[in-house]
């Protein structure tokens, strides 16, 4: 057992530290977080548009007119559909911050570069025509949303790297003496800004001469598709969840470390589902951010709410009883640090076994439930990860009871896996406590 700890401490932890400390991954994660509040607000409107109440649609149409749904979806378009635009700014901003260069300017340059990579054309089908024609003079909203996410990520990184390189090498326009310093400073962004814009411009000109036609198409083929396959497959998800659990077993925030890589993938599959849900079509993807947050991590990474319940119901040792009471409140909101560090699960070989096993089993059962159609797939509604269970499952599936039932089934499964391990640990703690009491009473007797 101590060999496991040895591997965790000497192999996994340093490697995880290096990955987690990597500034581009951090910037990616922190930058994309900027889109979350918007998407959650948009989700609220999305839910209102598709409340699963009989007669709701007729009622809304009678009250607000036939176009009620279109109007209700305005905020959805302004939040979900600018995901990539916001990410282009956010990622560049966070990366520039880490290099200690002006973040606001870096963000602005990145947004311009992202738009430069995007052809201002939208397809339009005129009345009576069979094929769509491309109409100029419009920014395509589809590419501002999840479809443009990978391009936005790449451009934010490239443009900020160029920006900070030029600033740090001190390549700036020198003003003659006598020019006020503030004026000189306003020119600082000119050279890096020009280089970034010129580079993306040249890239776009080259790509326009190939069969790809736009940078978005290339990135979609080269990056988007393989990553989509990785994130959309059962194996890929199992590996991701396994890594998250392994990192948490060392006491490191696995979700936040692995999320840097998987986040954008799960986010774009979430949005694909949202678009289908909004258009009243079957949702295509199973593995989205909500699959992980809502259906697997019931009570926090490792699905520990079941373990907390076991503590409250069956603990014999004082320590476990106390911990259960402390952890149940945060647990309902999927926060489980009191459990991981307090029980502890971290570096505790006995508890690491169910901690890693439970979510893996749940990924498989949830996957089976969703592919066979027993349970609804996540509808692309961005339910925040702190949403309590049952409500969370109901909302994430767009108001399907099967979503809530699935959470209950997963909870029961987790209880079953954790329980025997919990009993062993509790017994050990209990006898330690009894032993301590016997020693103190023995001492009192002697005295």
Binding mask 265-304 for another protein (x = CB under 8 A): ----------------------------------------
DSSP 13-49: HHHHHHHHH-HHHHHHHHHHHTTHHHHHHHHHHHHHH
Which of 342, 353, 361, 365 lies at the binding interface for another protein (CB under 8 A)?
Answer: 342
Is position 344 an interface residue for another protein (rule: CB under 8 A)? Answer: yes
Residues 6+ apart with CB under 8 A from 81: 141, 142, 144, 145
Residue 335 in tokens: 């926060």
Is position 244 an interface residue for another protein (rule: CB under 8 A)? Answer: no
Which of 121, 217, 233, 256 lies at the binding interface for another protein (CB under 8 A)?
Answer: 256
Nearer residue to another protein within complex by CB, 73 or 326:
326
Is position 236 an interface residue for another protein (rule: CB under 8 A)? Answer: no
Count of residues making up the chain:
447
Is position 24 an interface residue for another protein (rule: CB under 8 A)? Answer: no
Distance in Å, CB of 258 to another protein, minimum: 12
Is position 37 an interface residue for another protein (rule: CB under 8 A)? Answer: no
Number of residues that bind another protein (CB under 8 A): 30
Stretch that binds another protein, among 199-207, 233-241, 266-274, 332-340 (CB under 8 A): 332-340
Is position 76 an interface residue for another protein (rule: CB under 8 A)? Answer: no
How far apart CA 286 and CA 379 sit, in angstroms, is 9
Is position 339 an interface residue for another protein (rule: CB under 8 A)? Answer: yes
Taking alpha carbons only, the member of 342, 251, 258 closest to residue 293 is 258
Is position 194 an interface residue for another protein (rule: CB under 8 A)? Answer: no
Question: How far apart, in Å, are the Cα atoms of 119 and each of 108, 199, 214, 383?
Answer: 19, 16, 7, 32
Is position 20 an interface residue for another protein (rule: CB under 8 A)? Answer: yes
Which of 184, 261, 335, 391 lies at the binding interface for another protein (CB under 8 A)?
Answer: 335
Stretch that binds another protein, among 15-23, 290-298, 305-313, 369-377 (CB under 8 A): 15-23
How far apart CA 315 and CA 307 sit, in angstroms, is 10
Distance in Å, CB of 97 to another protein, minimum: 6
Which of 145, 228, 338, 392 lies at the binding interface for another protein (CB under 8 A)?
Answer: 338
Is position 340 an interface residue for another protein (rule: CB under 8 A)? Answer: yes
How far apart CA 367 and CA 233 sit, in angstroms, is 10
Is position 305 an interface residue for another protein (rule: CB under 8 A)? Answer: no
SS3 of residue 373 by DSSP? coil
Is omega for the bond preceding 199 within 30 degrees of 0, making it cis?
no
Contact assessment for residue 214 and residue 207, using Cβ atoms and an 8 Å cutoff: yes
SS3 of residue 139 by DSSP? coil
Is position 248 an interface residue for another protein (rule: CB under 8 A)? Answer: yes
Pseudo-torsion of CA 68, 72, 74, 78, nearest 10°? -170
Contact assessment for residue 164 and residue 101, using Cβ atoms and an 8 Å cutoff: yes
Which residues of the chain form contacts with another protein (CB under 8 A)? 16-17, 20-21, 26, 30, 33, 94, 97, 248, 251-253, 255-257, 323, 326, 330, 335, 337-344, 346, 386
């Amino acid at each position: 057992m101590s060999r496991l700890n040895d591997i965790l401490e000497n192999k996994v932890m340093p490697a995880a530290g290096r990955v987690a400390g990597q500034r581009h991954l951090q910037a990616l994660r922190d930058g994309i977080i900027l889109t979350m509040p918007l998407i959650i607000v948009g989700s609220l409107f999305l839910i209102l548009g598709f409340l699963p109440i009989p007669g709701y649609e007729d009622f809304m149409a009678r009250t607000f007119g036939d176009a009620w749904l279109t109007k209700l979806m305005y905020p959805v378009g302004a939040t979900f559909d600018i995901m990539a635009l916001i990410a282009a700014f956010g990622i560049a901003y966070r990366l520039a911050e880490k290099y200690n260069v002006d973040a606001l300017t870096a963000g602005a340059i990145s947004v311009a570069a992202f738009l430069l990579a995007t052809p201002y054309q939208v397809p339009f089908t005129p009345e009576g025509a069979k094929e769509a024609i491309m109409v100029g003079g419009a920014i395509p909203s589809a590419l501002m949303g999840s479809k443009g996410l990978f391009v936005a990520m790449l451009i934010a990184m490239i443009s900020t790297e160029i920006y900070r390189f030029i600033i740090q090498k001190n390549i700036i326009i020198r003003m003659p003496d006598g020019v006020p310093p503030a004026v000189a400073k306003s020119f600082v962004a000119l050279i890096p800004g020009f280089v970034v814009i010129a580079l993306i411009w040249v890239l776009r000109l080259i790509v326009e001469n190939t069969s790809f036609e736009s940078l978005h198409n290339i990135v979609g083929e080269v990056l988007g598709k393989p990553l989509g396959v990785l994130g959309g497959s059962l194996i890929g998800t199992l590996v991701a969840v396994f890594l998250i659990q392994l990192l948490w077993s060392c006491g490191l925030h696995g979700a936040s470390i692995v999320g840097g890589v998987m986040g954008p993938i799960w986010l774009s599959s979430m949005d694909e589902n949202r678009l289908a849900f909004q258009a009243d079509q079957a949702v295509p993807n199973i593995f989205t951010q909500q699959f992980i947050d809502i259906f697997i991590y019931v009570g926090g990474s490792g699905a520990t709410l079941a373990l907390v319940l076991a503590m409250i119901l069956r603990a014999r040792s004082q320590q476990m009883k106390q911990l259960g009471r402390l952890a149940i409140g945060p647990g309902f909101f999927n926060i489980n640090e009191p459990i991981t560090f307090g029980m502890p699960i971290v570096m505790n070989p006995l508890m690491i076994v169910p901690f890693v096993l439970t979510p893996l089993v749940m990924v498989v059962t949830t996957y089976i439930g969703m592919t066979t159609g027993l349970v609804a797939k996540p509808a692309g509604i961005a339910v925040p990860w702190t949403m309590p269970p049952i409500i969370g499952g109901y909302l994430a599936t767009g108001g399907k009871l099967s979503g809530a039932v699935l959470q209950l089934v997963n909870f029961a499964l987790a209880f079953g896996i954790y329980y025997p391990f919990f009993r062993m640990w509790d017994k050990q703690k209990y006898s330690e406590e009894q032993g301590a009491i016997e020693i103190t009473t023995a001492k009192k007797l002697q005295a």
